[in-house]
A = this chain, B = another copy of it.
Amino acid sequence: MSKITITDVARRANVSIKTVSRVVNGEPNVRDGTRERVQQAILDLDYRPNPSARSLATQRSYLVALIYDDPDAYEAPSCGYVVNLQQGLLAACNARGFDLLIHPANYRDPKALENIAKMIAHARPEGVVLAAPLSNMPDVVATIEDSGTRLIRLSPGPCATGQFVETDDAEAAQAMTSYLASLGHSRIAFVRGHAKHAAVQLRLSGYKAGLRAAGLDVDPALIVDGDNSIASGENAAAQLLALEQPPTAIFAANDDMAAGILRTASRFGVSVPEQLSVAGFDDISLAQQIYPALTTVRQPLHAIAYRAGEMIIDNVQGAHEDNVIPAEIVVRESTAPLARQH
């Protein structure tokens, strides 16, 4: 329990506490010799500035809050999303002497907004990073903005105002579709996600763009709805596989649905990837745990969160293109070239 204060250091280095403060904070106007003397004293005494005292004096909290949808709220929790964001943001915070506050919010809880407001009023973070899907919920956004706290939204979807960091979902979906087409598939189906998640629309249009780029037609029969759950993926696959001309590849707007597709394929006796290629989106941890491991799109969550942290702490505005972090296609076992066996 380090009880060493700035006064102890000052005494040992034979300077005033203000000079110690200058050295600690890297302020100018300290002679090199003095600076070294102080630094030595700090080392000798193992002095650590008291964050509370500093906060009180500077009127700053040195805190960043991460608000995300409570994973419990999902049927199939995508903890990986949360943990990756935490790590990225934590990295940005720690590098700058900030601490991270995590705040899971269940948006179906009527008190969620109140809890957010309470947290902000209590801890007074200098900025809030709002993860998807909360990031495109107007009331959540409004609650945070009303508090006067800096807000960075993560993948808020189209028409977003204010500051945000995102991946280009449309581009990523297009790339995946192109990849599928490059494997020889021409009947590529798409399973849409929950309409509430704005990214879903972008993924759909990317899918369409990918088809067009490959010279393929968009067949409405090959586009079916899901709601992001595993179960909805199962249903969608059942619907698609029952088609007169079933697809040879299915691209799902998220990994959970892709997992559902895999399950249905297994039930139908359709082998993946031999008879059917399946691709997902998100690269949740499940993607590499299921069999066959899922080809999917990986969002650079760590990088996104890190960038958001930088924006808050370094108070940068950032050119728009700096805040679009490119996604990456991860090819695993669930996709393969079209077998010419008919």
Q: Please list the residues of chain A having a beta carbon within 8 angstroms of any beta carbon in chain B.
A: 1-2, 46, 48, 50-53, 55-56, 61, 70-72, 76-77, 79-80, 82-83, 86-87, 90, 97, 99-102, 104, 121-124, 147-148, 230, 256, 259, 262-263, 266, 285-286, 288-291
- A90 proximity list for chain B (CB < 8 A): 102, 104
- Is the Cβ of B104 less than 8 Å from the Cβ of A48? no
Given A1-B124, A76-B288, A230-B289, 13 more contacts at CB 8 Å?
A1-B148, A2-B121, A2-B124, A50-B56, A52-B52, A72-B87, A77-B83, A79-B285, A82-B83, A99-B123, A262-B291, A289-B290, A290-B290
Q: Which 3 A-B pairs have the closest CB atoms?
A: A79-B79, A52-B55, A79-B83
- A52 proximity list for chain B (CB < 8 A): 51-53, 55-56, 61
A303 to nearest B CB, angstroms?
A: 14
Give the nearest-CB partner of A58 in chain B: B52
What's the dominant secondary structure at chain A's contact region?
A: helix
- A97 proximity list for chain B (CB < 8 A): 122
Give the nearest-CB partner of A80 in chain B: B79
Copies in the complex: 2
Give the nearest-CB partner of A264 in chain B: B291
- A123 proximity list for chain B (CB < 8 A): 51, 99
- A77 proximity list for chain B (CB < 8 A): 80, 83, 285
Give the nearest-CB partner of A87 in chain B: B104
- Is the Cβ of A121 less than 8 Å from the Cβ of B48? yes
- A286 proximity list for chain B (CB < 8 A): 285-286, 289
CA distance A74 to B286 in the complex (A): 13
- A259 proximity list for chain B (CB < 8 A): 289
A268 to nearest B CB, angstroms?
A: 13
Give the nearest-CB partner of A53 in chain B: B56
CA distance A104 to B102 in the complex (A): 13
- A122 proximity list for chain B (CB < 8 A): 48, 51, 97
Pairs across A and B, CB under 8 Å, 20 listed? A50-B56, A51-B52, A51-B124, A52-B52, A52-B55, A52-B56, A71-B83, A76-B289, A77-B285, A79-B79, A82-B83, A86-B104, A87-B104, A90-B104, A99-B123, A100-B102, A230-B289, A262-B291, A289-B289, A289-B290
CA distance A101 to B90 in the complex (A): 10
Give the nearest-CB partner of A122 in chain B: B48
A173 to nearest B CB, angstroms?
A: 23
A42 to nearest B CB, angstroms?
A: 12
- A83 proximity list for chain B (CB < 8 A): 71, 77, 79, 82-83
CA distance A99 to B52 in the complex (A): 14
From B56, B124, B288, contact of A56 by CB (8 A): B56
From B70, B80, B288, contact of A87 by CB (8 A): B70
A235 to nearest B CB, angstroms?
A: 14
